[in-house]
Structure 1
Amino acid sequence: MQPRRPPPPAPGPRGPRPAALLLGLWLLLPLALQGLAAPAEPGWRQDAELPPGLLEQAARAALHFFNFRVGSPSALRALAAVQEGRARINPKTGYRVDLVFTTELYNPEEGQERLGKCSAQVFFRNQKPRPTINVTCTRLIEKNKRQQEDYLLYKRMKQLKSSLHAVSIPDSHGHIDPSLRPIWDLAFLGSSYVMWEKTSQFLHYYMAQLSSVKQWKTNDGAIDFDYTVLLHEFSTQEIIPCRVHLVWYPGKPLKVKYQCQELQTPEEASGTEGSAVAPQEFTNF
């Protein structure tokens, strides 16, 4: 008499067999990916035809935000090119833009071409400024070198006269004296916050000129100065003056306060204002 073959083990109480479980996960994977790709909020749809210039507008806004958050004049970046992007639209709220773009040093040395890449998600609310931004960039300059250059710029600023009145940077010929370059770079750093707050889907700004600068002496050794910046708004071609107060010390958070006088309508003559403190260290840098 042959011995009986033992029956196969019954499925355990925890569920199906591993093979069946893997098959189920494989079948559910496309659905999970679709869920990740789609926005969680209802009412969003993919925009097949992007509004002209929307990707470049989003990249500029992301860079203004990034420059302010880094808080280092030696790490300032300028937009090189947008590589790819897409937009989702919700007619009730606005545009959400996902994009990848390359950057370059704001003050590149002669013959130097150093590019970094950034990925960002930018949310433009309908007819509202100050887009919401999440941006991550590859390292463009080593931290130690950046700190050294920031300290050299700090020393140059401390050697300048304590009071500078009726200064036009750049001059009428578009030239910036090398001795005044630190002032321009720090002003650009502070103005990046102003330009980000004022940027919308349709409005973007460029720092055209500094019309006045006054540096203050401080007990803690920080660079503390007031300046008036003229911002060129490209869509309306208007020049908007903004008074900015900036406090900066290498390795410490950047502090910015500003007040701008809008020129569009009499109702806006009182202007806009804001203030912010950049974090100690930008983790995405």
Structure 2
Amino acid sequence: MILCVLLAVVGLGGVIAESPPEATSCSHSMTESTRVLESHDKIEKVMETGELNPSHYPAQRAAKVVQHYLNTQYASPYKIFGLHKVIRANAEDVPNSGRKYQLDLSVQEFVEKKIKGECSAEVLFPMEHSHAPPQVKVSSCENILKINTSVQEEAFFQEQLARPNLLFASNIPDSYGHVAPEHVPFWHLGAVVSSYVMLNESTQETLYNMAQVANVTQQECADSSLLKYEYDVLLHDMVSQDIFAWKVLFTWSPSEGIKVLKKEKSDYPLENVTTT
């Protein structure tokens, strides 16, 4: 039941839904999940080289890593990037290094929902025994990366500094897929900090999305120019269908962006997730 609710919440195509979602049919979400899994089952065990089908799993997996990279570098509570479409993809084995993907893809900014841009990227998955995260290089994304959300960010920052009490919130979105308007920026922050985890954890056998912000706890910060939060986030691997809980401690401000102080797998009890 947990998986059903989380699939309904997140949507299968990106890090987050484009806006706080309406209640979503569980049976519909599972139909979509079955379709994705069936497409994965058709993948050959031997990795293809050369030109790839842009809609198939190997190209989509590498492109998803680019999405996470862009979020770690450029995203904010009011600017989040998601994969829109893989246009072209190529793969090759690099001796003594790993497997490299060359990609042309389109990226969408999800908060405003209207802005798309094309990027070129290179993703190198190191050899398995290295246990290193993928290496990403991105070019030709200037138009979408220059989106200016400084006014919204500063207003949100000042609002949080003026809070009489430290924030605590949970289950964002709730079991019906709803996000309270006042929690939307915190949901977006959860998507961004989750990308730090998902980028580091991604391999050629994973395809991660953030499923839910289970808890967000604001903490006292010695530096008054920063906000400090601890998040419990639930991540969904579309390949294994497993849900992973991670705890992430970070600071944020409009001028400094997100600085992850600590991230670790959590023993957050998944049975505590509200289900229908």
> TM-score w.r.t. structure 2 length?
0.70
Aligned-partner Cα distance in 1 for 2:109–2:68: 14
Match of 1:271 in 2: none
Query: Secondary structure of 1:56's partner?
Result: helix
Q: Does 1:182 align with 2:185?
A: yes
- Identity value in percent: 28
Paired residues of 2:216 and 2:231 also in contact (CA < 8 A): yes
Aligned-partner Cα distance in 1 for 2:267–2:208: 13
Which residue of 79, 82, 89 corresponds with 2:86?
A: 82
Aligned-partner Cα distance in 1 for 2:95–2:77: 38
Paired residues of 1:73 and 1:186 also in contact (CA < 8 A): yes
Summarize the Cα distance change of 1:240–1:149 in structure 2 as closer, same or farther, 3 Å threshold: same
Q: Does 1:125 align with 2:110?
A: no
Paired residues of 1:157 and 1:182 also in contact (CA < 8 A): no
Unaligned runs of 5+ in 1: 1-45, 264-285
Letter in 2 for 1:80: H
Aligned-partner Cα distance in 2 for 1:243–1:48: 38
Match of 2:49 in 1: 47
Aligned-partner Cα distance in 2 for 1:65–1:235: 20
Paired residues of 2:79 and 2:111 also in contact (CA < 8 A): no
Summarize the Cα distance change of 1:161–1:83 in structure 2 as closer, same or farther, 3 Å threshold: farther
Which residue of 259, 263, 273 corresponds with 2:264?
A: 259
Match of 1:221 in 2: 225
> TM-score w.r.t. structure 1 length?
0.68
Match of 1:73 in 2: 77
Aligned-partner Cα distance in 2 for 1:262–1:124: 28
Summarize the Cα distance change of 1:89–1:76 in structure 2 as closer, same or farther, 3 Å threshold: same
Figure out how many residues of one structure are paired with residues of the other and give that number.
Answer: 214
Paired residues of 2:78 and 2:185 also in contact (CA < 8 A): no
Summarize the Cα distance change of 1:160–1:235 in structure 2 as closer, same or farther, 3 Å threshold: farther
| Post-superposition CA distance 1:188-220 (Å, at most 9, x none) | 111111110001111121111111111023342
Deviation at 1:126, TM superposition (A): 3.2
Match of 2:251 in 1: 247
Give matches, 1:1-285, under 5 Å.
47-48=49-50, 50=52, 52-90=56-94, 93-109=97-113, 113-127=114-128, 128=131, 130-136=133-139, 137-140=141-144, 142=146, 145-158=148-161, 162-165=165-168, 167-218=170-221, 219-256=223-260, 257-261=262-266
Residue range with higher mean Cα deviation, 87-96 or 53-62: 87-96
Give the structure, 1 or 2, with the largest relative contact order (CA under 8 Å, sep 6 or more). 2
Paired residues of 1:168 and 1:210 also in contact (CA < 8 A): yes
Query: Secondary structure of 2:206's partner?
Result: coil
Aligned-partner Cα distance in 2 for 1:70–1:260: 24
Deviation at 1:68, TM superposition (A): 0.7
Paired residues of 2:86 and 2:103 also in contact (CA < 8 A): yes
Deviation at 1:80, TM superposition (A): 0.6
Deviation at 1:79, TM superposition (A): 0.7
Summarize the Cα distance change of 1:135–1:141 in structure 2 as closer, same or farther, 3 Å threshold: closer
Unaligned runs of 5+ in 2: 1-47, 269-276
Aligned-partner Cα distance in 1 for 2:163–2:242: 32
Aligned-partner Cα distance in 2 for 1:55–1:106: 21
Summarize the Cα distance change of 1:214–1:108 in structure 2 as closer, same or farther, 3 Å threshold: same
Query: Secondary structure of 1:139's partner?
Result: helix
Aligned-partner Cα distance in 2 for 1:67–1:96: 21
